[in-house]
A and B are shown apart, each in its own frame.
Chain A
């Protein structure tokens, strides 16, 4: 049964005062049909050239996937560049940078080759870009000769540092035996001092035992008293000794003086005696 085909426009739908979701079912009820998208349409169409054979290329690119055109062209066996081409003035590219636009163009050329309609020249930097690149490289990248001279300098620096360090080590090692000798001597002295102190302490403890009759601990306060007492005694003994020495000295001096005086006196006496003798002889002679 052939359905009555009726193309509806929005004005007609508005007259029915229905919501878009409702009018499809409503129209079916009233045995009317709406203008559906082509692939879903049951509209009877007469093919214009059904007799002519489709070419192999058309067969290849025939869209049996039902994908929209923009997606269908990307399929592996189709691989067609965008039909509308690319234009910098398009809304799509207007707000992007030239660099980004060029990047897209390069990709298109890589993918679709000359079919993309892209000028292959955009794959290389432009004159201005190239001069910029060269300028930048001149500032940031040293040449091989510069690198090598820097390398040589660095190496010499490093070797010099190592040499200096080794020299210093050698000098210090030469000094080492003497320093070691001094150190050992000092250690020995310190040890001996310590031993002497210990011996003194021990002696003090023994003295304390002799004095009190029993052993004392080394932090006993009586030990301190004993020590002071001992020191006092020692001082007294030293004083006495010095006094005795002094007395002895005085005595010796006095004796010496006395001897001196005595000698002088004897000499005087002898002189007077001899004079007297002379006088006697003179007298004898006179006589």
Chain B
């Protein structure tokens, strides 16, 4: 009992707990220095911590990302790439249905450009039209179409409905003449001789699968049958067709319009065609 009393008397005599005799708890962090005003926080000068860090965005000697030249490899050689504005089978069917295209005549680039639905601009390296397969399941027009680029399904859709298709290459000078023949005739220059396809597309236009104009007609006949078997439709015998002549009409590889040869000049004033007489000229344009 005596010890308890002793402790109590000690407590009575000890000083009270107040702000003056309090100590921080063990492990407590000190207050952060106030970084306000001049020389606020720690003293910092030349050679102090901050200056030893590299500048913001420094990549250890590389050209930093904000100064680096952007690289866009997918645009490489874009100036030389051939462009083919698309025309879908759906659009073509619509043009036929609205009477904007006459299916009793072969359809070529000039026919399609005259509908004013599609724009081909040789200055934008448009090398003609790409016939796409959208609307292949509803396409039913029987046409003889000449196109610059297409795919297997579009070919199948055209041949299934009894038509024929050819892919043909035109150089930009010919495209320029074909997209607007009136403008071309007003220039008073002879109809150009169509050039041969360039190396990057020669394979496409020599392939019977693409119905290329440079392919062997016999191979094309076989390819038509093969495609019909692959896609599962009956190929009508074209020789029995009343439109056989129209459907099998093909241009000469050097020719750009039916009925007109390269080297001729069409004069709209007199509605005449002027043909050169010089044997050298004739040889050049026919070669």
A residues within 8 Å of B by Cβ?
Answer: 103, 105-115, 120, 123-125, 127, 130, 133-134, 141-144, 147-148, 150-151, 154-155
Contact = CB atoms under 8 A, between A and B. Distances in A.
Given A130-B281, A134-B284, A148-B206, A110 B199 contact: no
Given A106-B189, A123-B188, A123-B265, A147 B199 contact: yes
A110 B188 contact: yes
A130 B274 contact: no
A123 B190 contact: yes
Contact of B199 (A106, A124, A150): A150
A127 B188 contact: no
A160 B285 CA distance: 40
A125 B276 CA distance: 11
Interface in B168-203: 185-190, 195-197, 199, 202-203
Given A110-B269, A147-B199, A151-B202, A130 B188 contact: no
A110 B185 contact: yes
Nearest to A115: B269
Given A124-B278, A130-B280, A144-B214, A109 B199 contact: no
B270 A114 contact: yes
A106 B187 contact: yes
B281 A124 contact: yes
A115 B274 CA distance: 16
Given A125-B281, A134-B284, 4 more contacts: A110-B269, A115-B269, A123-B265, A142-B196
Given A144-B214, A150-B199, A109 B276 contact: no
Interface of B: 185-190, 195-197, 199, 202-203, 206, 214, 263, 265, 267-270, 274, 276, 278, 280-281, 284
B269 A112 contact: yes
B278 A107 contact: no
A130 B263 CA distance: 12
Contact of A111 (B203, B269, B274): B269
A147 B280 contact: no
Given A110-B269, A130-B281, A141-B196, A123 B189 contact: yes
Contacts of A124: 190, 263, 265, 276, 278, 281
Given A106-B189, A107-B186, A113-B269, A130 B284 contact: yes
B contacts with A: majority SS: loop
A222 B276 CA distance: 110
Nearest to B280: A130
Contacts of A108: 188
Given A124-B190, A147-B199, A155-B203, A113 B267 contact: yes
Contacts of B206: 148, 151
A109 B188 contact: yes
A103 B269 CA distance: 17
Nearest to A127: B280
Chain B CB count within 10 A is highest, among A130, A141, A147, for A147
Nearest to B281: A124
A155 B202 CA distance: 12
21 contacts: A106-B187, A107-B187, A110-B187, A110-B267, A110-B268, A120-B274, A123-B188, A123-B190, A124-B276, A124-B278, A125-B281, A133-B284, A134-B284, A141-B196, A142-B196, A144-B214, A150-B199, A150-B202, A151-B199, A151-B202, A151-B203
When A and B form their complex, which 10 residue pairs have the shortest distance between CB atoms, in order from nearest? A106-B188, A110-B188, A113-B269, A113-B270, A147-B202, A110-B186, A109-B188, A123-B265, A151-B202, A124-B276
Nearest to A107: B188
A109 B203 contact: no
Nearest to A114: B270
A193 B214 CA distance: 70
Contacts of A130: 280-281, 284
A143 B188 CA distance: 29
A172 B201 CA distance: 36
A112 B270 CA distance: 9
A110 B269 CA distance: 7
Given A106-B187, A109-B267, A151-B203, A141 B195 contact: yes
Contacts of B263: 124
Nearest to A109: B188
Contacts of A151: 199, 202-203, 206
A63 to B, nearest CB: 22
B274 A123 contact: yes
